[in-house]
Structures are given as structure tokens and as C-alpha cells.
């Protein structure tokens, strides 16, 4: 049975934030890969209304606010948002925070957002179509939705196995993926590349960028590091722009 991921993040938040130590000066896209400082997918954010979906501790939203954006974060975990509020106070920036499902953006007016961003949150969402539709409603025409999530190819392998890598499931298997992280149960949802592309195009987005970044060659590794990152992409990054109304 799929896990209540909001409740799981409430239980896991303190341990995660203590271990992750995410930056608050630049947006991150995932573990052990380059940041927005290299990818430059978001553009100049000064004066822009930027929505972060699944903001967690709001580290990326804080980075947006430091760049002059009007930052808005939404997350389903009360504990993550409590951490986010404390971190905003510590960093001395203002971020508008909301507790809500990512497909429930009723607190935002239509055509009011200049940039929508999400890092590693959409993998917890079963019905991405609902999220894409809600984000499309609130984005201005031509504005981008930029998101990262677990690469669907990586879901196939057993990343805890010794060499050689073992394929543990079919790429086409849509069964939810239940797993434990530091003793807390979570559920991920597998979305193929065609699922993502068709879901976006059917909702009147135009996909203009797809990235499958290699891991950083040097530097300290995060707690999420696996040698398998060198052989199979761990993260998928997509930028899609709103077309129509």
C-alpha cells in the first residue's frame, strides 16, 4: 500500500535537514550534480514571482529571494515548513509559505507566476497531470516550469548491489516503489519519459530542455551518493513553457 508521503516527511524532516545541509545561495537540482549556477535554466529572477513546488526546507526559495524574486513555496509537510520558517528567519529573507497538495494551488491567481520550479518533489506525486494543469493555470503565458525528479532509468536498477549493476524492475512497470529511508517508509511513483513528455504537451506546454546530468567529477559526496551514478543517470531535469491559456 502506498505510503502517506506527507506524514513520512513529517517524521523524516529533522534527520534529513541535519544531514543534507542544502545551500541557500543557489538552487539545487539533485544530489551530486551541478546547480542552477551552471545550468542557468531560470533566467534573471529579480522582481519575478517564483513558485517552488515541494519546497521542503525552502532552501531554493531562499536563494530565489536573495536574487530579488518574490518567492512562494508550497509543501505538504508541516514539519518541513516549520523548518523552512526558521531558516527564512535565520537567513533574513521573506518567503511566502503554504501547506498544500501540489495539485491544489487555489491560493494563487491565474496567470500570476513568472517561474515555477521543483527539485525532486514530483517523484512523490502519482497523478502528475493534475499538477501540470494547476501549474499551467497559474503561470503566465510563455513562463517556464523547471523541474527535476528521479530519472526513470535509475528506477530500474538495484543501486545497493555490488558490481555488476542489477536490473531489478521493468522500465514499463508503473507499480509504486515503496522503500525505507533511515527507517521511515516512503513511496515513489515511476514516470517514464513518454509519460512526462505527453503529460506536458497535452497540458499545452512546450518542452525546450531535457538534461540528464553526469555526477560532479570532484568534491565531497552527499549522503545520497552511489557509484551507480557514474553509469546510469540519477536525475532528469526538464524545462517546459506554458503555451495558450
CATH code at position 9: 3.40.50.150
Total tally of structural domains belonging to the chain: 1
State the pTM of this model. 0.93
Residue span of the structural domain in which 179 resides: 5-242
| pLDDT at residue 21, as a whole number | 87
Question: How many Cα neighbours within 13 Å face the side chain of 58?
Answer: 34
Tens of pLDDT, residue by residue, the chain (245 residues)? 456 999 999 999 999 999 888 999 999 999 889 999 999 999 999 999 999 999 999 999 999 999 999 999 999 999 999 999 999 999 999 999 999 999 999 999 999 999 999 999 999 999 999 999 999 999 999 999 999 999 999 989 876 655 667 888 999 999 999 988 888 999 999 999 999 999 999 999 999 999 999 988 876 666 666 777 778 899 999 999 999 87
Amino acid at each position: 500500500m502506498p505510503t502517506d508521503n506527507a506524514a513520512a516527511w513529517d517524521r523524516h524532516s529533522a534527520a534529513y535537514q541535519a544531514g543534507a545541509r542544502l545551500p541557500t545561495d543557489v538552487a539545487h537540482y539533485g544530489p551530486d550534480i551541478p546547480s542552477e549556477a551552471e545550468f542557468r535554466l531560470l533566467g534573471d529572477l529579480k522582481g519575478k514571482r517564483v513558485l517552488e513546488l515541494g519546497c521542503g526546507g525552502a532552501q531554493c526559495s531562499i536563494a530565489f529571494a536573495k536574487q530579488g524574486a518574490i518567492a512562494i513555496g508550497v509543501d505538504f509537510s508541516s514539519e518541513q515548513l516549520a523548518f523552512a520558517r526558521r531558516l527564512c528567519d535565520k537567513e533574513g529573507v521573506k518567503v511566502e509559505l503554504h501547506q498544500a497538495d501540489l495539485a491544489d494551488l487555489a491560493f494563487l491567481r491565474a496567470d500570476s507566476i513568472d517561474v515555477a520550479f521543483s527539485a525532486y518533489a514530483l517523484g512523490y506525486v502519482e497523478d502528475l497531470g493534475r499538477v501540470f494543469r494547476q501549474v499551467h493555470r497559474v503561470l503566465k503565458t510563455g513562463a517556464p516550469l523547471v523541474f527535476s525528479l528521479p530519472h526513470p532509468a535509475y528506477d530500474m536498477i538495484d543501486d545497493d548491489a555490488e558490481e555488476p549493476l542489477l536490473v531489478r524492475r521493468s522500465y514499463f512497470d508503473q507499480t509504486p516503489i515503496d522503500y525505507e529511508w533511515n527507517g521511515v517508509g516512503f513511496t515513489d511513483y515511476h514516470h517514464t519519459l513518454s509519460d512526462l513528455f505527453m503529460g506536458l504537451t497535452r497540458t499545452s506546454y512546450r518542452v525546450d530542455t531535457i538534461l540528464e546530468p553526469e555526477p560532479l567529477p570532484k568534491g565531497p559526496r552527499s549522503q545520497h551518493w552511489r557509484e551507480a551514478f557514474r553509469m546510469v543517470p540519477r536525475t532528469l531535469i526538464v524545462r517546459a513553457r506554458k503555451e495558450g491559456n
